[in-house]
Amino acid sequence: MMGLISCDTFVVLPPLTAHGGVIFGKNSDRPNGEVQELIYQPPQEHEAGTNLQCTYIDVEQVSSTYAVILSKPSWMWGAEMGANDQGVVVGNEAVWTRMSNGDDTEERLLGMDLVRLALERSKSAEEAVDVITSLLEKYGQGGPCSDIVQDFTYHNSFLIADPKEAWVLETAGKLWAAEKVTAGCRNISNALTIGTKFDRSSSDLKETAQKNGLWDGESEFDFASVFGETNSSATHRQQCGRRLLETLSEGNTFSVSNMFEVLRDEDSGICRKPDDGFPTTGSQVSVLAPPNVEKPHCHWFTATPNPRVSVFKPFIFTPSVRISHHTVSPQFDPDPAKVVPRFQSKVDRAHNLYKLHTAATANEGSSVLALLREMELNCVAEVEAFLADYSADQGLTEVDELLKDVVETEVKFYK
């Protein structure tokens, strides 16, 4: 296990939120030097019998997929986190388990592939659990999880939410357990957290644990204790994150800005600087409207490293939505004869916003940072006012280019 690795995902549900809905947040911490891009994929129809190429392997394609916005390492097909136009959000965590048997480098589905597949195919959080677990059981998880760090592999846990509820889904090889969360707050880091209480699981969970000598078949079955590996860093961050959520949600007024604050917390290790071995390379906060309220959901992304010096930018799904090319990494010829061998690649995957942001924030005392934070505050106020006054009959045309406009304003600040 690589102890420096960190990722943290959070969800706050009613009655703790100010707007009565669900607020989701995630920091994606990845190997230093990796670029995370922000892309939009519209809904699509697919021919029967076709296959879908994921990062390493093909899976059967479904007849139709939902629109998604994804924050993803630019070298892979899958995503670290994202949202779809059905109000589903997903983030994943690297975990290390006792079901690692030396063949995790075999190319299967990455946890990030499962995040994207769930978003493209699910209209609810529970359906996302079904999508991930069915694919996991069929194909397994595995393959290098970095194009920078060799032999970097892990299993995955997921935090999935929709306007009604959240699910924590944790895996160990092809085995899994899932916990339903309907109120309060919940967070995960890089260690298994599901204990004796879970609502769903793989059918052979206990049998396999006993067969592998991990459980005696008589004591109370605790998923994390049976399958988890000790990770003191993850436990510390999970506990600190829990305290932050509980403190900031006192009075039932937890807001989008509170989730920004959680993701920007350095003392806990939740936010990691660019010089860290595994810095925070992208962040997401999603505000999901209550299920009985006809208002759009709003998703906020940095698309740049280190949320302390990044701007959270809003995105709302609309029929004609457009995002900026500044957050999309350059594409390279997939012809194997023209691709530099893995871990020796010299291609520059940095998108334009990443380059400009990196140069501008090299000095944390830069005057541009104060201007950017003011822009974010104003943007939050304007979006909240729009959502408060929104009625279904007015449509969403005026926010078709919301994210695009904010990104391009940020680019102008840097220039």
Phi-psi region of 173 (alpha: psi -120 to 50; beta: other; left: phi over 0): left
Would residue 369 count as lying in a domain?
yes
Question: Which value, to the nearest 10 degrees, does the dihedral of the CA atoms of residues 66, 83, 192, 266 take?
Answer: 160
pLDDT greater than 60 at residue 256 = yes
Q: What's the rounded mean pLDDT across residues 222-239?
A: 95
Peptide bond connecting 73 to the previous residue in cis, omega within 30 degrees of 0: no
CA count, 13 A, side-chain hemisphere, 134: 12
Would residue 2 count as lying in a domain?
no
Residue 101: the pLDDT is 81
What's the number of domains the chain is made of? 1
* DSSP annotation string for 312-372: -EEE---TT----GGGSPPP----GGGSPPTT--------HHHHHHHHHTSSTT-HHHHHH
Would residue 326 count as lying in a domain?
yes
**Torsion angles phi and psi, residue 109, rounded to 5:** -90, 135
Question: Which value, to the nearest 10 degrees, does the dihedral of the CA atoms of residues 167, 173, 174, 176 take?
Answer: -30
CB crowding 147-175: b at 16 or more within 10 Å, else e: bbbeebbbbbbbbbbbbbbbbbbbbbbbb
Binned at pLDDT 50, 70 and 90, residue 333 comes out as low
Would residue 166 count as lying in a domain?
yes
User: pLDDT for 277-305, tens place per residue?
Assistant: 999 999 999 999 999 999 999 999 999 99
- Separation of alpha carbons 32 and 226, rounded Å: 32
CB-neighbour burial class of residue 70 (10 A; exposed 0-12, middle 13-18, buried 19+): buried
More confident residue, 405 or 346: 405
pLDDT greater than 50 at residue 193 = yes
Binned at pLDDT 50, 70 and 90, residue 331 comes out as confident
Residue 141: the pLDDT is 98
Report yes or no: 219 and 41 within 8 Å, Cβ to Cβ. no
Would residue 225 count as lying in a domain?
yes
Would residue 248 count as lying in a domain?
yes
- Separation of alpha carbons 367 and 98, rounded Å: 49
Binned at pLDDT 50, 70 and 90, residue 239 comes out as very high
| Of residues 116, 130, 131, 55, the one with CA closest to residue 84 | 116
Q: How do strand 51-53 and strand 166-172 relate by DSSP bridges?
A: unpaired
Would residue 3 count as lying in a domain?
no
- Domain with 165, as residue range(s), is 8-414
Q: CATH code at 147?
A: 3.60.60.10
- Separation of alpha carbons 26 and 283, rounded Å: 6
- Separation of alpha carbons 160 and 11, rounded Å: 9
Q: Which of 124-138, 180-194, 328-342 has the lowest mean pLDDT?
A: 328-342
User: pLDDT for 18-33, tens place per residue?
Assistant: 999 999 999 999 999 9
CB crowding 231-262: b at 16 or more within 10 Å, else e: bebbeebbebbbebbeebbeeeebbbbbbbeb
Would residue 282 count as lying in a domain?
yes
Binned at pLDDT 50, 70 and 90, residue 415 comes out as confident
The residues assigned a catalytic role are 7
Residue 339: the pLDDT is 47
Please report, rounded to a whole number, the percentage of residues in the chain having pLDDT higher than 70.
95
- Separation of alpha carbons 297 and 182, rounded Å: 18
User: pLDDT for 141-177, tens place per residue?
Assistant: 999 999 999 889 999 999 999 999 999 999 999 999 9
Binned at pLDDT 50, 70 and 90, residue 6 comes out as confident
Binned at pLDDT 50, 70 and 90, residue 332 comes out as confident
Q: What's the rounded mean pLDDT across residues 207-227?
A: 98
Residue 335: the pLDDT is 56
